[in-house]
């Protein structure tokens, strides 16, 4: 995926790399240290929910785009990265016109 994006000069939202950059040791809400976190499966203070697949979404960091929030809310991180990529695409298109 990364190689194809590079070869084709396409923007890439590398969500996995961004998760690991922010939380290299405890990104997965399925880890034992998060079992005692209160709330449903999405209310873990890491980037993936307790199911180990979906982004987390603790309400404390919902729609907060600060650096700290981007380490604790997987949905907010995903939204942030998507918006940044979208802005890059728009900028490239407008520069080419």
3-class SS shares of the chain: helix, strand, coil, % to 5: 50, 5, 50
Tens-digit pLDDT profile for residues 13-41: 999 999 999 999 999 999 999 988 888 99
Sort 48 into a burial class: Cβ within 10 Å, 0-12 / 13-18 / 19+.
buried
- Where on the phi/psi map is residue 39: left (φ > 0), alpha (ψ -120 to 50), or beta? left
Instruction: Please give the pLDDT value at position 93.
Output: 80
Q: Mean pLDDT throughout 72-87?
A: 95
In eight-state DSSP terms, residue 55 is B
Instruction: Please give the pLDDT value at position 33.
Output: 92
HEC-encoded secondary structure of 4-18: HHHHHCCCCCCHHHH
| Residue ranges per structural domain of the chain | 2-96
């Amino acid at each position: 995926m990364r190689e194809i994006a590079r070869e084709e000069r396409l923007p890439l939202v590398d969500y996995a790399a961004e998760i690991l950059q922010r939380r290299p040791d405890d990104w997965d809400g399925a880890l034992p240290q998060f079992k005692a976190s209160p709330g449903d499966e999405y209310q873990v203070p890491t980037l993936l929910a307790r199911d180990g697949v979906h982004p987390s979404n603790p309400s404390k960091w919902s729609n907060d785009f600060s650096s700290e929030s981007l380490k604790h809310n997987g949905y907010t991180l995903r939204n942030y990265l998507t918006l940044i990529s979208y802005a890059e695409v728009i900028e490239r298109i407008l520069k080419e016109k």
